[in-house]
Every structure is written in structure tokens, then in C-alpha cells.
Amino acid sequence: MTVPAAGPHPVELAGLLHELTASLLSAESFPQALERLAAHAAAAVPGAVRCSIVLIGEGGPLTHVGHGPAGAAVDEIQYAAGTTGPGLEAARTRSTVTVPDLATDARWPDLAAAARAEDVHAVAAIPLDLPRADVGALSLYFDTTGAPGADHLLTALALANQAELLLDELRRRDALSSGATVDRAIGVIIAQRGCGVQEAYTVLRDTAQRLGLDRHVVADRLITVAARNA
């Protein structure tokens, strides 16, 4: 078993957290923030060959992003079925799951062949709790058995904890932005139809249902058309 190098100095860890904060808060969208988180975590934890992030929304499909040269097949098997694996286990139990060697772990035999084929061995899956919408997990894959060491696991935990705060803030911003968009669209409908507020909300809702689109998407399109015709 390969013994991992020492974990980062506290000053180095502070730098990693600062870089993560700047990267995520400057993202143009929530999906882009997830992609940046995966890339940052994969690069920040020594020995990691991939970072995989999954979010489970209430009643909705899984959201999954990954970054790294190996482990994509493991992700595909685990998240396509959406039933079992270290990432989903961490998300659902809200506890850290460590796997010394995925290729021989009896808990997830369906993942063993893909792990061997991609030379992925150890996994550390850390829960992500986003109170506004989702639970999820940040999983790190390693090409050596027994990884990560305690220092590197603490680094991963620190990154995940910081990411929870940042992602929740991004969701809060998205909610405020979406609410403002709907309010502007309601104003456009009132101006065009000479109707009341409640009727305008009904028009927006019915239009979204008829088109099979989210009402925020319809609101944004309505505002764009109104601005073009102004």
C-alpha cells in the first residue's frame, strides 16, 4: 500500500479554501459552480484522480458532474441506476463513506469491474447538505488502495464544508434573481393586458404549463420580447 504524502500546511489549506471561494462565487451559473468545485477538489487533494459530485433533489433527477481522467465508468454505473454506491450512500446517510479498495468491496459488487478497468481503488465520499434544495456528496477517487490518509481526508472535508456554504449562497442568489424576473414579467403582463396582479400570475402560470416550460424561463422570454419591442 502506498503511503500518501503529508497533508497541506494550514496556510496552504487556507489558500485552497480562498481559491475555492473565489472560483465558486464568480461562477456564472450553479452548474458551472459544480464543475469548478469538482475540478478544484480533484486538483487540491493529492493522489485524487477524479472528483465526482452528485446532488439529489426532492422528487427530481440526480444532478451529477465529474472531473478527472479515471472513474467516469464507475460514476456512470452508480448514478445511472441511482440506487447504490459510495456517493449515494454518503448522500442518503449524511455520513462520510470511505472505501479502501472499491474493486474488492463486497458492498458494491456492480462497481468492481469498472473500478478495476479504470485502475480506481480507494474512494472517499463526503456528504453535502444544501438546505434549500438538495442533499448530495462529493466523492474523491484514488488510484492507490487505502487512500486518502487522515490529513488528505481532512483537506477533503474542509473543501466540502466550505462548498456547502458557497453552493447554498449561490442557490439563494438564484432564487432572488428568479423572483425578480417573475415580478418583472408580471409587470409586463399587467401593462399589456390591463389586468390585475392575480390574473397576471394566472396568465404566466397557464402559459408555462401550455408550453411545458418552467415559469421562470417563460418570464425571462417575455421580458426579452418586451424589451425588443419597446
User: Residue 188: what pLDDT?
Assistant: 86
C-alpha angle 142-147-151 in degrees, rounded to nearest 5: 120
- Mark 195-204 as b/e (b = at least 16 C-beta within 10 Å): eeeeebbebb
Q: 47-66 in b/e burial notation, b at 16+ Cβ within 10 A?
A: bbbbbbbbbbeeeeebbbbb
Q: What is the pLDDT of residues 65-109, one digit of tens each?
A: 999 989 999 999 998 866 689 999 999 999 999 999 998 999 999
DSSP E strands: which ranges in the chain? 48-57, 62-67, 97-99, 123-130, 134-142
Structural domain 10-172, CATH architecture: 2-Layer Sandwich (3.30)
Question: Going by C-beta distance under 8 Å and a sequence separation of 6 or more, which residues neighbour residue 116?
Answer: 103
C-alpha distances in angstroms, 5 versus 2, 14, 15, 29, 117?
9, 19, 19, 35, 26
Rounded to whole angstroms, the Cα distance separating 202 from 179 reads 16
- Tally DSSP H helices, then E strands, for the chain: 8, 5
Amino acid at 141: Y
Q: Which CATH architecture has domain 175-229?
A: Orthogonal Bundle (1.10)
Contact 166, 24 (CB under 8 A): yes
Q: Which residues of the chain have pLDDT under 70?
A: 1-8, 58-61, 81-83, 132-133, 230
Q: What is the pLDDT of residue 2?
A: 47
Report the distance separating Cα 181 and Cα 188, nearest Å.
Answer: 11
Pick from 68, 75, 46: nearest CA to 153? 46
* Of 138, 219, 132, residue with least CA distance to 183: 219
- Name which of 72, 77, 65 is nearest 41 in CA terms: 65
Q: What is the pTM of this model?
A: 0.76
Handedness of CA 47, 14, 98, 33 (dihedral sign): negative
C-alpha dihedral (74, 80, 81, 85), degrees to nearest 10: 30
Domain limits, the chain: 10-172, 175-229
